[in-house]
Amino acid sequence: MSSLTDTYEKKYPENWVVMQNRIEQCFHKMTLDEKRLLILASPTARMIDASEKDAIEVTAEQFANECGIKVSSAYKQLEVASKNLLNRSFSYMNERGKRVGVTWVIRAVYEDGYISVCFPDEVLIMLKAFDASNPFTKYKKENVLLLKGEYSIDLYHIAKKYEGMTTFQMTLEDYKLELGLPKSYNRINNLKARALEPAIDEINEKTDINITYENVKRGRTVTGLKFTVKPKAKPQKTLEEKRDPHTADMFIIDGLNDKQLGRIVRNPAFIAEYNHLVSPTSQAGQSQQGWDFEMVKRLKEDASQFGKRPIKDYLDY
């Protein structure tokens, strides 16, 4: 299972944001508009297989519509965000053990009504290469760009990373480090009131997931947080809304027993076409048994998400 995940070249629709988890470690240093600009540019970088020479355009109208802000202020916000990214840098150790410094953006052009930015190779690889060696997180643009809280995007990204596990724990120190919290948040009450509960409330209101948390204690002292992440239930469609005379037969699983569904999800073609639906670190991404269980469950719940070919075609291999 893991080898197929490693070797399959994953492709995602344009409305999906897909980023290596390394980017999350830098998110907390960015302003809200810098994060938005990176999120909006990331699908284009992936779809066109961008190089350092490729300018990725983001219009003021697009920025305003996607982020729920006024068009009149969008261009200025874009300009400031791109200039910040031109001046913002990170570093890494190369194969010779030498430290390399890189700016997030290497070139920005300010046109009438839009800007175009060029990313260095080190950033582009985090927006294009996704496999077991480069763990990644994915989510839909519309589920994140309307978030406006200072820490909401950061927590959403973390939650989506672990969504396949349902629950995950972080020490208080790790939480503060991941979100780049100042020392004033060392007091647990201050942390919860400013950098935890407002973000959870906004995520639960505006996105596709619900987050709850509970304290992890050692004695009477809170040492960490245990999060539970659950996808929101999708609105149930009526039979007529679901029916499409051209594609209805594609999603029919009526009459298929669990053994047949298991055979379908083990088809190498099915795995290649749908392994992007699970995280490589989830149980479904780590073992054949975990994959079988998760995919059969999803087929029963909503077979329409598997629409690349008629479901029953996968029985023959």
- pLDDT, tens digit (0-9, with 9 covering 90-100), for 135-166: 888 898 988 999 999 999 999 999 998 888 88
Residues 6+ apart with CB under 8 A from 18: 10, 12, 42, 43, 46, 127, 130, 136, 137, 138
Condensed to tens digits (0 to 9), the pLDDT of residues 44-76 reads 999 889 999 999 999 999 999 999 999 889 999
For the chain, what is the mean pLDDT? 85
Answer yes or no: do 212 and 172 share one domain: yes
Q: List own/partner pairs for 98-104 with CB under 8 A and 24 or more apart.
A: 104/38
Region 16-37 average pLDDT = 86
Using an 8 Å Cβ cutoff, are 114 and 60 in contact? yes
Answer yes or no: do 6 and 137 share one domain: yes
Of 192, 217, 232, the domain-final residue? 232
As a whole number of angstroms, the distance between CA 163 and CA 231 comes to 8
| CA distances, 188 to each of 196, 216, 295, 298 (Å) | 10, 12, 40, 39
Answer yes or no: do 178 and 256 share one domain: no
Q: Which domain holds residue 275?
A: 239-315
Using an 8 Å Cβ cutoff, are 229 and 211 in contact? yes
Of 180, 213, 232, the domain-final residue? 232
Condensed to tens digits (0 to 9), the pLDDT of residues 172-183 reads 999 999 898 988
Predicted pLDDT at 7: 32
Predicted pLDDT at 252: 56
Answer yes or no: do 135 and 185 share one domain: no
Number of structural domains the chain divides into = 3
As a whole number of angstroms, the distance between CA 190 and CA 187 comes to 5
- The candidate with the shortest Cα–Cα distance to 262, out of 286, 302, 287, 292, is 292
Of 141, 168, 189, the domain-final residue? 141
Q: Is the pLDDT of residue 223 over 90?
A: yes
Answer yes or no: do 1 and 125 share one domain: yes
Answer yes or no: do 134 and 43 share one domain: yes
Pairing of the two strands 209-218 and 107-110: unpaired
Answer yes or no: do 1 and 132 share one domain: yes
Answer yes or no: do 179 and 263 share one domain: no
Using an 8 Å Cβ cutoff, are 310 and 249 in contact? yes
- The candidate with the shortest Cα–Cα distance to 180, out of 293, 48, 27, is 27
pTM higher than 0.75:
no
Residue 112, domain CATH? 1.10.10.10
Condensed to tens digits (0 to 9), the pLDDT of residues 248-301 reads 444 456 678 888 888 988 888 888 888 878 777 777 777 888 888 888 888 887
